[in-house]
Every structure is written in structure tokens, then in C-alpha cells.
């Protein structure tokens, strides 16, 4: 009893310390500590400005796909931190700029965008962003004290609203007049492409002017003073800051000093990359989507479970709202027993709860327990099929097919293995399992008594590739 009371007291104290920390920490310093700051303009001035009064911050999302992926989590989490400190955030969909294509970070030009697809992607992204903030607010409310308006979701806007009606002559008079070609040529994204074999199209060259105008429009109509973007957006952000300074202070049109950009700030975040340095995303073909219809909640959870030890502390700082003392304690415990993957499990739990709610987390943890940590004693067929409802790895088969076909052939037929020979190799290497038991030989067939409740077979190839074969009840004897 005394031990339980003492643990409860420690939990209450830790919770109070966490909430006090969240209130006292300087926002820019906290963002820097968490790894969000790659580059920032005038950090001392920005830090003081953020602490003195409410600011308006925006970050853009390129509508090249209809869903967010984990690469988007970095700028979105950054916006979340701003809102939790009482600032107003604007997620911006590039409905207009998405039709042009940003050359930043690319060696070749994007394929011409389909206008209808960009529109559809913009609508889907708006829903995805709203869903993210709605769930993130619930998560934040359970983790930390805050000064944000958690009942008010950010208003997602599209830059098509203002670019659609502006004509070329007006744009050249407003923006082109203040743009300096030598400055544009010196942008890193432009220089990299100019030195490539394919070169740079005029359309891509002018992209930075379109994004610069976005910042100016949001500044003049919404009072926006800060733009957040990935590290590959630094040149575009600087172009916007310079445009704001020149349009609002024509007398300083030729002034390139800090006085010209005193009205706005830029902050870039690092890009989320693979161990080889490759950027995550749709074009790279390695996206982990926030939409459970594209990446299941189970696979989303498993992605973070598999994060390398070298990256887990960085991910805990960026993708959770845990305090510094909590993260330090988690990492210390992890170092004592790295084989238990304590830090990865906490990371996966925190991010999955934030993105997919407590219900999604419970489902992911249940699946993980059932498939990787259980001997299946007491497990029911209903538990398995309910947990995998809607997941493509749940396949309903005739009872006769399941009982009369060697497991090796079933694994190949339903694409658990790439081919029959690959499936045979798995059996020979003792890497093919059914209900957590090794398939002993190539022609091994399962009996009804071997199935869970006589209805379900869980097939697994190696450590984590699996599928569920469930008997069609209309064919069950």
C-alpha cells in the first residue's frame, strides 16, 4: 500500500513538473531543443517577439498527394507548438503553386500537374489537416499545460484563392518589379538545377515569386509574420520576407539590410529522411501515410517501433509533447536495456495516439501483442478478425481450400511470399510460421484443430510480414 501511494505521489509530482515546464519554457528555445530549427532569421528578435505578443504563423502543404505522410509531421508539429503557446496558425494548401511545381530539392522537373487532381488532393488534404489538429488537441490536452485555443481548429486556406484572379501584368507590376534576377539565380534550388543536364524551366524559375507573394498576401490580409517550411524552402521563404519589406517600405526597395525584412520572419525545419539520407514522400515511394486507408494503424505503429536507436531520442523530441525530463528518463531506461526497445515503444504509443486517437493506439497495441508477443493461449478468432477488420491482410477463404492446400502454397497464392519458390525457401529456412509455430515441411497442411477456434490461421514470414486467413463461415462444416 505504501509503495503504491509513493508511486502515485511521484506520478502527480511528475505531472505537475511537466505542466510547469510547458508553461515556462521559451518557445523558440524549446523548438530549437526539440530539433525543429534548421535555419531561422534574426533568432533573438524572433524569440523576443514570440514572447511579447501573439503572432500569426503559416506553413504550406504541396498537394501532390491526397493524404499527409510522416514527413508532414515535422512542420505540422511545429505549428502545433505555436498554437499551444497561444499563437494563430494557418496551414496553407498550394492549390495554385501545386500546378506549377516547386523545384526545391529536385534534380528534374515535375510532370505537368492535372488540375482536377490537384483540386481533389487539396480537398482531401484539408480534411486530413483538420483531422490531425483535432486529434492532436486531444492528445495535447492530456499531456501538457498550454495557452492555446484547443477548441478552435486552424482555418486551412488555399493560395488558389488569391492567385486565381491575379493576371500576369498585375503580378509583374506587383511582384516582378521588386524581384532581382541575380538574387533569384543565387537561390540554392535554382543553382542546383542550372548546373544539371536538364536545366530549369522558366515556370520553375518563377515559383519562388509565387510563394513569396503567398507570404506577402497572408501578411497583408491575415497579419501573418512567420513562415515555417522545410529546409529546402529557405530560399523561397527569404524571397517572401524581402518582398514584404519592399512592398511595405518602397523607399527601402534597394535596401538588402535587415531593415528591409524587419516585418517578417522565417523558420525552416529539417527534412525527415531515411538512414541513407533519402527524403520521405510520395515521389520517393517510401511514404508512411497518416491516412489509415493507405497505411494501416498497425503498420504506422510498427514503423515507429522499428526506429533505430540512434534516431529514437530525436523522434521523441519532435513527434511527441513529452517534456525534457520525461524524454531523458525514457532514454536512460532504454540505454540500460536496449533490447527491450522501451524508447521505441513509448514513441510509437505517443505518435499513434496523437494521429489515430486512443482507440487506434489500442488496436495497434492489441495487434502487436497478438502477432508478436503472444503464444495465442486464450486468443479467439473474433479477437483476431475484429482487430484486422478493414485490413487487406485479412483474407476470407473457403474451409476446404485452407485445409487441403499446403501452407507453403497458400503463402504464395495470397502474396505473403513473392512466389512458390520463395515460399519453399522460407520453409527450408524455418522462416514460415502458422499460428506462431514453424511450418515443418513444404507439403505441410493445417488441420481444423490447429486453427484458432477452428476458423483462423495467422501466417507469418520472417519477423513481421504476416496475413490472416479466416474461414468463410458459409463454407464451414
Over 50: is that where the pLDDT of 192 sits? yes
| pLDDT: which is higher, 24 or 293 | 293
Q: Distance of CA 432 to CAs 227, 299, 371, 396, 409, Å?
A: 51, 20, 14, 20, 11
pLDDT number for residue 333: 95
| Residue 214 and residue 61 in contact, taking contact as beta carbons nearer than 8 Å | no
Sign of CA dihedral 85, 268, 61, 263: positive
| Residue 445 and residue 407 in contact, taking contact as beta carbons nearer than 8 Å | yes
Domain boundaries, the chain: 2-269, 297-373, 383-475
Give the single-character DSSP code of 228.
E
149-151-152 Cα angle (round to 5): 70
Q: Which fold has domain 2-269?
A: Rossmann fold (3.40.50)
Among residues 340, 336, 346, 286, the alpha carbon closest in space to that of 315 is found at 346
Taking only the tens place, the pLDDT of each residue in 71-116 is 999 999 999 999 999 999 999 999 988 888 776 666 566 666 788 8
Over 50: is that where the pLDDT of 10 sits? no
- As a CATH number, domain 383-475 is 3.10.290.10
| Residue 330 and residue 346 in contact, taking contact as beta carbons nearer than 8 Å | yes
How far apart (Å, rounded) are the C-alpha atoms in residues 38 and 445? 56
Q: pTM of the full predicted structure? A: 0.81
Over 70: is that where the pLDDT of 469 sits? yes
When pLDDT is cut at 50, 70 and 90, the band that residue 221 belongs to is very high
When pLDDT is cut at 50, 70 and 90, the band that residue 305 belongs to is very high
What is the residue-wise DSSP string for 312-361?
A: HHHHHHHH----HHHHHHHHHHHHH-GGG-HHHHHHHHHHHHHHHHHHHH
Query: For the chain, what is the mean pLDDT?
Result: 85
Arithmetic mean of pLDDT, 180-193: 78
Taking only the tens place, the pLDDT of each residue in 330-361 is 999 999 999 999 999 999 999 999 999 999 99
Q: Which fold has domain 297-373?
A: Tyrosyl-Transfer RNA Synthetase (1.10.240)
When pLDDT is cut at 50, 70 and 90, the band that residue 368 belongs to is confident
Taking only the tens place, the pLDDT of each residue in 251-269 is 655 544 444 456 899 999 9
How far apart (Å, rounded) are the C-alpha atoms in residues 269 and 60? 13
Q: Where are the beta strands (DSSP E) in 81-139?
A: 88-93
Arithmetic mean of pLDDT, 182-208: 79
When pLDDT is cut at 50, 70 and 90, the band that residue 201 belongs to is confident
**What are residue 431's phi and psi, to 5 degrees?**
-115, 10
Contacts of 52 (CB under 8 A, 6+ apart): none
Taking only the tens place, the pLDDT of each residue in 110-162 is 666 788 899 999 999 999 999 999 999 999 998 876 655 666 779 999 999 99
- Listed range (99-108, 236-245, 324-333, 434-443) with the worst mean pLDDT: 99-108
pLDDT number for residue 2: 31
54-55-58 Cα angle (round to 5): 145
Over 80: is that where the pLDDT of 395 sits? yes
Please identify which residue in the block is written with the cell numbers 501511494.
5
Taking only the tens place, the pLDDT of each residue in 414-426 is 999 999 999 999 9
Amino acid at each position: 500500500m505504501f509503495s503504491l501511494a509513493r508511486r502515485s505521489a511521484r506520478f502527480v509530482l511528475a505531472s505537475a513538473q511537466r505542466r510547469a515546464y510547458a508553461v515556462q519554457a521559451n518557445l523558440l528555445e524549446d523548438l530549437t531543443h526539440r530539433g525543429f530549427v534548421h535555419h531561422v532569421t534574426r533568432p533573438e528578435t524572433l524569440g523576443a517577439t514570440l514572447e511579447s505578443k501573439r503572432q500569426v504563423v503559416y506553413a504550406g502543404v504541396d498537394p501532390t498527394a491526397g493524404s499527409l505522410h510522416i514527413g508532414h509531421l515535422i512542420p505540422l508539429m511545429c505549428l502545433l507548438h505555436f498554437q499551444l503557446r497561444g499563437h494563430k496558425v494557418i496551414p496553407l494548401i498550394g492549390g495554385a503553386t501545386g500546378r506549377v511545381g516547386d523545384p526545391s530539392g529536385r534534380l528534374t522537373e515535375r510532370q505537368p500537374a492535372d488540375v482536377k487532381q490537384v483540386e481533389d488532393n487539396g480537398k482531401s488534404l484539408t480534411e486530413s489537416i483538420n483531422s490531425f489538429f483535432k486529434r492532436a488537441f486531444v492528445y495535447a490536452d492530456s499531456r501538457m499545460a498550454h495557452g492555446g485555443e484547443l477548441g478552435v481548429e486552424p482555418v486551412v486556406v488555399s493560395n488558389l484563392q488569391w492567385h486565381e484572379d491575379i493576371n500576369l501584368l498585375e503580378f509583374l507590376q506587383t511582384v516582378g518589379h521588386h524581384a532581382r534576377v541575380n538574387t533569384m539565380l543565387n537561390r540554392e534550388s535554382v543553382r542546383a538545377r542550372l548546373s544539371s543536364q536538364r536545366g530549369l524551366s522558366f515556370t520553375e524559375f518563377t515559383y519562388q515569386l509565387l510563394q513569396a507573394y503567398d507570404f506577402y498576401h497572408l501578411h497583408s490580409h491575415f497579419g501573418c509574420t512567420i513562415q515555417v517550411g522545410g529546409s529546402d524552402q529557405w530560399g523561397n521563404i527569404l524571397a517572401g520576407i524581402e518582398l514584404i519589406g519592399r512592398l511595405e517600405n518602397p523607399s527601402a526597395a534597394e535596401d538588402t539590410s535587415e531593415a528591409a525584412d524587419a516585418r517578417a520572419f522565417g523558420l525552416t525545419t529539417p527534412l525527415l529522411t531515411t538512414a541513407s539520407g533519402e527524403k520521405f514522400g510520395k515521389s520517393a515511394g517510401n511514404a508512411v501515410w497518416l491516412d489509415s486507408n493507405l497505411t494501416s494503424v498497425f503498420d504506422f505503429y510498427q514503423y515507429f517501433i522499428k526506429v533505430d536507436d540512434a534516431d529514437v531520442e530525436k523522434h521523441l523530441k519532435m513527434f511527441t509533447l513529452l517534456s525534457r525530463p520525461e524524454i531523458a528518463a525514457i532514454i536512460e531506461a532504454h540505454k540500460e536495456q536496449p533490447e527491450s526497445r522501451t524508447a521505441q515503444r513509448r514513441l510509437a504509443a505517443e505518435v499513434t495516439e496523437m494521429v489515430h486517437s486512443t482507440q487506434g493506439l489500442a488496436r495497434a497495441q492489441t495487434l502487436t501483442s497478438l502477432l508478436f508477443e503472444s503464444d495465442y493461449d486464450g486468443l479467439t478468432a473474433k479477437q483476431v478478425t475484429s482487430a484486422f477488420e478493414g485490413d487487406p491482410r485479412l483474407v476470407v477463404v473457403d474451409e476446404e481450400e485452407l485445409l487441403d492446400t499446403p501452407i507453403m502454397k497458400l503463402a504464395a497464392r495470397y502474396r505473403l511470399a513473392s512466389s512458390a519458390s520463395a515460399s519453399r525457401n522460407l520453409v527450408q529456412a524455418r522462416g514460415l510460421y502458422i499460428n506462431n509455430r514453424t511450418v515443418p515441411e513444404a507439403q505441410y497442411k493445417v488441420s481444423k484443430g490447429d486453427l484458432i477456434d477452428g476458423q483462423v490461421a495467422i501466417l507469418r514470414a520472417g519477423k513481421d510480414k504476416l496475413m490472416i486467413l479466416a474461414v468463410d463461415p458459409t463454407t464451414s462444416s
